[in-house]
Structure 1
């Protein structure tokens, strides 16, 4: 009888332990499934972010190339403008006339030396007076 009682107690203890093991296994499986789903979601998000970063990098490289092209065009235009400034004979005449006005030459001297019409020479003198004021 004592042996039967011990056997029944052992059986109850074994069943109880088995029940606990099954419950923990289900909880663990459930948590594991949730973590696995979270991992999959995170992995998808990482792939999306990698794709976006790649697109941004490509866009930035394109913008960088365009900026370099625009800077190069700007430098070429500056050089062309500087070359035209020195190639234009009228610009030389006006530059000389302005220099003469700044150095204190009178109206008739500027007209004679630079071969400017009187109206243009008077305009240079009036502009120079406005700058000085």
Structure 2
């Protein structure tokens, strides 16, 4: 019989090599999984911070909506509010007809599109889009 002959010491060495290989794989796997945890924690902290930022921005947007509505009501009534008298906003409100935004509002209410409003009033396209979106729907 001239086949491959493996002795017991050779079989023992082969088994030892296989055990070391699987131990190295296990250590590598554990190292990778432990490195993922700090990244995951950092990712969670970033998500929480962004969620807090979004909540703060939403709250600020809501307060700006309320202020805008009160200014629109005040403009309709032409009655200055206490806050405006204290901050000097009344003098700006009296000369409001001269602002490009008031002209833009009138143009939007008359049916002009955002390009016409931006070109006619000297305001940015984004501002014109916003004014047209807000005031065209009121007519």
Question: What TM-score do the two structures reach when normalised by structure 2?
Answer: 0.50
Distance 2:27 2:46 in 1: 29
Residue 22 (structure 2) aligns with: 28
Distance 2:37 2:8 in 1: 42
- CA radius of gyration, larger in: 1
More helix by share: 1
Distance 1:22 1:60 in 2: 57
Q: Unmatched 5+ residue regions in structure 2?
A: 80-139
The alignment partner of 2:27 has SS state of helix
The 4+ residue runs of structure 1 with deviation greater than 6 A are none
Residue 54 (structure 2) aligns with: 60
Alignment partner of 1:47 out of 34, 41, 47: 41
2:96 is the alignment partner of 1:73: no
Distance 1:36 1:47 in 2: 17
Distance 1:76 1:17 in 2: 88
Q: Give deviations 1:9-62, integer Å, cap 9, x for gaps.
A: 8xx632222211111111111111111111111121111101100110011011
